[in-house]
């Protein structure tokens, strides 16, 4: 059997702070070793949890006993025109850097670029550019997977699932990572995307790459109010060539002010944009000046740039916020964070509801930010420890409203072990049973990713 890493403690938690336990951690070097681990675990009925980079926010890669298999040694990258072939352990930052050398890029761009390719596929991760390119699952052209019976298979996009299954209707959102995708005419790549390490071990993937446009305008546009920013979202969403549309509310900006001292005191909301350009003289640049004026944005205070360094600076600005709230939550143990999405036309209704209920219940102790282009903003509650139950109830209230509007309780982070209660709000018992039938078909002993998606 392949050697275990000497220190197993990093594998016993993820970025959510959820903690577990394991007997052993394996870091196989190749597919033959992965097969050997799966077969041995299967023969001895030992639960097996698959570890990516551990940036997940739902406890999904955290074991509840048994063995862990880490894909950290699957690091090969081959960049080809229009596609990248990568090992499951390749980090998104590594993929982006390798693709950039050929003037290509992978689509979605999740905010946490320390995530692995295998983890991002398995959570169907989204990102700032999912607004234009869709979530991670949509980028997958082919997958290599090892099942618990020791079989390894390669699936191309379009290879249809070849066993009977019952269909489950999907939410009317642009992203979904709640339970299995089970639409008619399903292919294997779709089934594996977002399956949270419960169906098989992904060892390699081929991912779509896109050519870099000749130039890109990127910016952080500040507004004197959230209402004006919400108006701008509706006007800007259809702008041709717009590939990123993200938001931050007033409290998010307040969190960032100590680090970004140059930010205007008048700024009470921000939208981040990226726009493809034909060149750095593209007339589209002047149109942005007009758009800012029409939407009453704080033009003089806003930040714009054209270079990769500018984009990275703005990405760091976006990343700093979840990094702060994730850290606050881990330290206090009482952070509540949503990953809901609603149909695009319901964005404003849901956002207004979030803000009104948060102001009533936790005035000043919350922040709303994220992928507003996909109607997938994250509400973060930072209650006092004694208010944890109240926060829990508010989260559930939000989830019920989201579902009533045709949305999803997990747009991009998955259900993991921490949100299994939410799955039942979104799907009927019979629909969840249809998902469990798929799980039992591919992992009859229910050893892989125990506790993920379904209560166990």
Ligand X SMILES: Cc1cc2nc3c(=O)[nH]c(=O)nc-3n(C[C@H](O)[C@H](O)[C@H](O)COP(=O)(O)OP(=O)(O)OC[C@H]3O[C@@H](n4cnc5c(N)ncnc54)[C@H](O)[C@@H]3O)c2cc1C
Residues forming contacts to ligand X in the complex (CB under 6 A) are 14-15, 49-57, 60-61, 71, 88, 110-112, 115-116, 118-120, 122-123, 125-127, 196-197, 201-202, 319, 322-323, 326, 412-413, 449, 452
Angle at 375 between CA 234 and CA 429, to 5 degrees: 145
Minimum CB–partner distance for residue 332 and ligand X (Å) = 16
Distance, in Å, from the CA atom of 194 to the CA atom of 179, rounded to the nearest integer, reads 7
C-beta of 15 vs 297, nearer to ligand X? 15
C-beta of 42 vs 55, nearer to ligand X? 55
Distance, in Å, from the CA atom of 65 to the CA atom of 313, rounded to the nearest integer, reads 41
Minimum CB–partner distance for residue 175 and ligand X (Å) = 8
Distance, in Å, from the CA atom of 436 to the CA atom of 184, rounded to the nearest integer, reads 17
C-beta of 71 vs 394, nearer to ligand X? 71
Residue nearest to ligand X (CB): 119
Minimum CB–partner distance for residue 363 and ligand X (Å) = 25
Beta carbons of 346 and 375 less than 8 angstroms apart: yes
C-beta of 268 vs 371, nearer to ligand X? 371
b/e map of 35-60 (b: 16 or more CB within 10 Å)?
A: bbbbeebbeeebbbbbbbbbbbbbbb
Minimum CB–partner distance for residue 418 and ligand X (Å) = 12
C-beta of 105 vs 288, nearer to ligand X? 105
Minimum CB–partner distance for residue 359 and ligand X (Å) = 25
Minimum CB–partner distance for residue 101 and ligand X (Å) = 23
Question: Other CB atoms closer than 10 Å to residue 10's CB: what's the count?
Answer: 12
C-beta of 269 vs 411, nearer to ligand X? 411
Minimum CB–partner distance for residue 406 and ligand X (Å) = 21
Distance, in Å, from the CA atom of 438 to the CA atom of 427, rounded to the nearest integer, reads 15
Distance, in Å, from the CA atom of 223 to the CA atom of 264, rounded to the nearest integer, reads 10
C-beta of 252 vs 297, nearer to ligand X? 252
Beta carbons of 288 and 217 less than 8 angstroms apart: yes
Minimum CB–partner distance for residue 14 and ligand X (Å) = 5
Minimum CB–partner distance for residue 354 and ligand X (Å) = 18
Distance, in Å, from the CA atom of 265 to the CA atom of 228, rounded to the nearest integer, reads 16
C-beta of 112 vs 284, nearer to ligand X? 112
Residues in the chain: 456
Minimum CB–partner distance for residue 128 and ligand X (Å) = 7
C-beta of 76 vs 356, nearer to ligand X? 76
C-beta of 297 vs 453, nearer to ligand X? 453
């Amino acid at each position: 059997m392949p050697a275990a890493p000497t220190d197993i403690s990093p594998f016993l938690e993820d970025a959510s702070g959820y903690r577990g336990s394991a007997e052993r951690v394996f870091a196989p070097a190749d597919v033959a070793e992965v097969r050997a681990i799966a077969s041995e675990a299967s023969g001895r009925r030992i639960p097996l949890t698959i570890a990516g980079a551990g940036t997940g926010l739902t406890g999904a890669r955290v074991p509840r006993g048994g063995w862990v298999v880490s894909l950290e040694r699957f690091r090969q990258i081959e960049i080809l025109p229009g596609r990248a072939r990568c090992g499951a352990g390749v980090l998104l930052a590594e993929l982006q850097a390798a693709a950039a050398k050929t003037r290509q890029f992978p689509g979605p761009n999740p905010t946490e670029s320390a995530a692995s390719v295998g983890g991002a596929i398995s959570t169907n991760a989204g990102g700032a550019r999912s607004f234009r390119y869709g979530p991670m699952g949509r980028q997958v052209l082919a997958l290599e997977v090892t099942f618990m019976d020791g079989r390894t298979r390669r699936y191309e996009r379009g290879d249809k699932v070849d066993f009977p299954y019952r269909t489950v209707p999907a939410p009317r959102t642009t992203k979904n990572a709640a339970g299995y995708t089970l639409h008619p005419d399903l292919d294997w790549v779709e089934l594996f995307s977002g399956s949270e390490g419960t169906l098989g071990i992904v060892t390699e993937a081929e991912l779509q790459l896109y050519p870099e446009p000749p130039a890109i305008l990127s910016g952080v546009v500040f507004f004197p109010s959230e209402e004006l920013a919400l108006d701008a979202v509706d006007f800007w969403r259809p702008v041709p060539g717009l590939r990123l549309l993200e938001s931050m509310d007033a409290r998010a900006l307040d969190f960032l002010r100590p680090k970004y001292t140059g930010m205007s005191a008048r700024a009470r909301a921000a939208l981040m944009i990226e726009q493809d350009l034909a060149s750095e003289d593209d007339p589209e640049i002047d149109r942005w000046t007009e758009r800012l004026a029409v939407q009453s944005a704080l033009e003089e205070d806003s930040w714009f740039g054209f270079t990769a360094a500018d984009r990275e600076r703005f990405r760091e600005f976006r990343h700093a916020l979840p990094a702060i709230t994730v850290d606050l939550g881990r330290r206090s143990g009482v952070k509540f964070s949503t990953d809901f999405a609603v149909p695009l036309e319901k964005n404003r209704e849901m956002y207004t509801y979030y803000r009104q209920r948060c102001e009533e219940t936790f005035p000043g102790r919350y922040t709303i930010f994220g992928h507003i282009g996909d109607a997938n903003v994250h509400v973060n509650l930072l209650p006092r420890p004694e208010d944890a139950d109240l926060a829990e109830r508010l989260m559930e209230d939000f989830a019920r409203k989201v579902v009533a509007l045709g949305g999803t309780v997990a747009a991009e982070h998955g259900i993991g072990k921490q949100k299994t209660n939410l799955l039942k709000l979104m799907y009927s018992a019979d629909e969840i049973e249809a998902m469990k039938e798929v799980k039992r078909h591919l992992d009859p002993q229910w050893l892989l990713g125990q506790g993920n998606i379904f209560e166990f």
